[in-house]
């Protein structure tokens, strides 16, 4: 619904959302740690965690959106994504981060750090993809 | 009687982006 406070954002980023890890453990989204993602990927067998370094953050033609350029994985593949400024990414060893942490906290109640160039985010690929 | 409300549970992999090299600019 356009009137939803989280319009354009997935509901699972709202503080208090229950997340199921690959081993069945339940955690709140704000309590997730780097190890939870790494261990879940190991258990899943299908998914592989990649380190995606933020190379550039630039404005988008869309209001409240940015284009983030990542350098993904060992091959340093350059990938650009357009996201809302409040969209949270999980930074290795740090936790949730977004381009506009104040807005993320306002909309989702999720505490965030400021996402910056050089931050290493967790991303996923399918193991079958080469 | 009040029915207990089910709480949605989300899969961990929903929270991290799939960055595939096919998206390369």
Please write the tens of the pLDDT for every residue from A92-130. Answer: 999 999 999 999 999 999 999 999 999 999 999 988 755
Closest by CA position to A89, among listed A54, A58, A46: A54
ipTM over 0.90: no
Stretch A74-103: mean pLDDT: 96
Instruction: Report the half-sphere exposure of A37 (CA within 13 A, side-chain side).
Output: 27
Q: How much of chain A, in percent, has pLDDT values that exceed 70?
A: 93
Which residues of chain A have a CB within 8 Å of the CB of B7?
Answer: 18
pLDDT category of residue A5 using cuts at 50, 70 and 90:
low
Sort out which chain B residues have CB atoms less than 8 A from A23's CB and list them: none
| A37:B16 CB<8 A | yes
CB atoms within 10 A of CB A57: 15
Task: Answer whether B8 sits within 8 Å of A17, measured CB to CB.
Answer: yes
What CA–CA distance (Å, rounded) separates A55 from A103? Answer: 22
Calculate mean pLDDT across residues A63-69. 95
Banded pLDDT at A88 (limits 50, 70, 90): very high
Q: How far is B22 from chain A (nearest CA, A)?
A: 8
Please say whether the dihedral angle defined by the alpha carbons of residues A34, A121, B13 and A124, taken in this order, is positive or negative.
negative
β-strand A18-20 against A89-91: which pairing, if any? unpaired
The answer, yes or no, to whether residue A1 has pLDDT greater than 70, is no
Q: In what order do the strands lie in the sheet with A89-91?
A: A77-84, A65-72, A47-59, A120-126, A89-91, A95-98, A113-114
| Nearest alpha-carbon partner for A122 in A92, A100, A99 | A92
pLDDT class for A2, splitting at 50, 70, 90? Answer: very low
**Confidence band for A6, pLDDT divided at 50, 70 and 90:** low
- Render pLDDT for B1-25 as a digit per residue (tens, 0 to 9): 677 778 899 999 999 999 976 544 4
């Amino acid at each position: 619904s356009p009137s939803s406070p989280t319009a354009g954002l997935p509901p699972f980023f709202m503080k208090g959302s229950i997340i199921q890890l690959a081993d069945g453990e339940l955690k709140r989204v704000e309590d997730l740690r780097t190890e939870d993602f790494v261990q879940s990927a190991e258990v899943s067998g299908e998914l592989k965690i990649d380190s995606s370094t933020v190379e550039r953050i630039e404005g988008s033609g869309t209001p409240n959106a940015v284009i983030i350029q990542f350098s993904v994985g060992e091959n340093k593949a350059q990938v650009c994504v357009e996201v809302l400024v409040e969209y949270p990414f999980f930074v290795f060893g740090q936790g949730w981060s977004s381009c506009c942490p104040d807005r993320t906290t306002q909309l989702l109640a999720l505490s965030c750090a400021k996402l910056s160039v050089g931050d290493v985010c967790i991303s996923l690929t399918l193991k079958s993809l080469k | 009687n009040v029915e207990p409300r089910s709480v949605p549970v989300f899969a961990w992999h929903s929270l991290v982006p799939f960055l595939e090299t096919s998206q390369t600019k």
